[in-house]
């Protein structure tokens, strides 16, 4: 009555590693590469991506720490550039003399056409 039981633990580990291997192969075919994700991240900052691209980008970013860091850095640089542009624009005020000269020049060029 002393029969050996099958090693269920090893079978489960083999199944898990096999399933993981299948999943990794599927993801590598379905998800964009890191290079593509870099371009998609920039594109997503400028416009709304189609659903499939948005989903693949989010999935890749969930799994890839390097692309998440890159996306965070791109967003930070974009935010800083916007803030700097706003600050420069708020300081770029024309004097009333300069405005008057521009207005006169525009009127004169309009009269000549």
Class of residue 74 by CB neighbours under 10 A (exposed 0-12, middle 13-18, buried 19+) = middle
Domain that holds residue 93: 9-112
**Residue 31 neighbours by CB under 8 Å, 6+ apart:** 56, 59, 60, 63
* pTM confidence score: 0.56
Phi/psi for 112 (5° steps) reads -80, -20
- Please tell me the total count of domains within the chain: 1
Q: Is residue 1 part of a domain?
A: no
pLDDT in tens, 52-109: 999 999 999 998 999 999 999 999 999 999 998 888 777 777 788 888 898 999 988 8
Q: Is residue 25 part of a domain?
A: yes
Q: Is residue 83 part of a domain?
A: yes
Q: Is residue 43 part of a domain?
A: yes
């Amino acid at each position: 009555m002393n029969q050996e039981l099958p090693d269920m633990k090893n079978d489960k580990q083999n199944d898990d590693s096999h399933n993981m291997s299948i999943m990794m192969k599927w993801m590598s075919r379905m998800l964009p590469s890191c290079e593509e994700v870099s371009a998609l991240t920039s594109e997503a900052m400028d416009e709304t991506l189609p659903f499939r691209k948005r989903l693949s980008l989010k999935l890749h970013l969930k799994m890839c720490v390097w692309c998440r860091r890159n996306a965070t850095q791109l967003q930070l640089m974009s935010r800083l550039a916007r803030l700097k542009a706003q600050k420069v624009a708020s300081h770029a005020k024309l004097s009333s003399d300069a405005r008057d000269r521009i207005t006169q020049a525009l009127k004169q060029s309009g009269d000549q056409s």
